[in-house]
Amino acid sequence: MRRPVPAPHRAFAKALRTDSTDAERKLWSLLRAGQLDGLKFRRQVPVDGYVIDFVCFEARLIIELDGGQHSGSSADLIRDEHFRAAGFRTLRFWNNEVLENIDGVYERLQIVLRDR
């Protein structure tokens, strides 16, 4: 059952898609159009009052890219637990990890998807 998304949340998610970071654009180039095991990923998706960086509903996988402001964030822990309770697994990567080691990120994603 889909929940209606308030207009401000939709507008915020759209703005985030329009103004993506370098790391988000780089990861999206690997995830878009079913390039990762044929799975459909979406980006900057509003769900339950949060905006998820990348999500594959079929695999129940959320991918978050974090900058330094997320270091030790208790809000991230609460968010991750919210989605874990809903049956999602959340993977977090640092922005610099995506920018400097995209092959390692891709390998990690393949392992997680293979083990689901």
Q: Which of the two residues, 27 and 73, has the higher pLDDT score?
A: 27
Q: Would you state the pLDDT for residue 78?
A: 93
Query: Among positive and negative, which fits the CA dihedral 60, 65, 69, 72?
Result: positive
pLDDT for 9-34, tens place per residue? 666 566 666 768 999 999 999 999 88
**Contact of 44 with 35, CB cutoff 8 Å:** no
How much is the average pLDDT of 91-102?
96
Q: Which of the two residues, 67 and 110, has the higher pLDDT score?
A: 110
Q: Classify residue 27 by burial, with Cβ atoms within 10 Å: 0-12, 13-18, 19+.
A: buried
Q: Would you state the pLDDT for residue 1?
A: 43
Q: Which CATH number fits domain 7-114: 3.40.605.10, 3.40.960.10, 3.20.20.120, 1.10.3370.10?
A: 3.40.960.10
Q: Is the pLDDT of residue 56 over 80?
A: yes
Domain boundaries, the chain: 7-114
Q: Would you state the pLDDT for residue 12?
A: 59
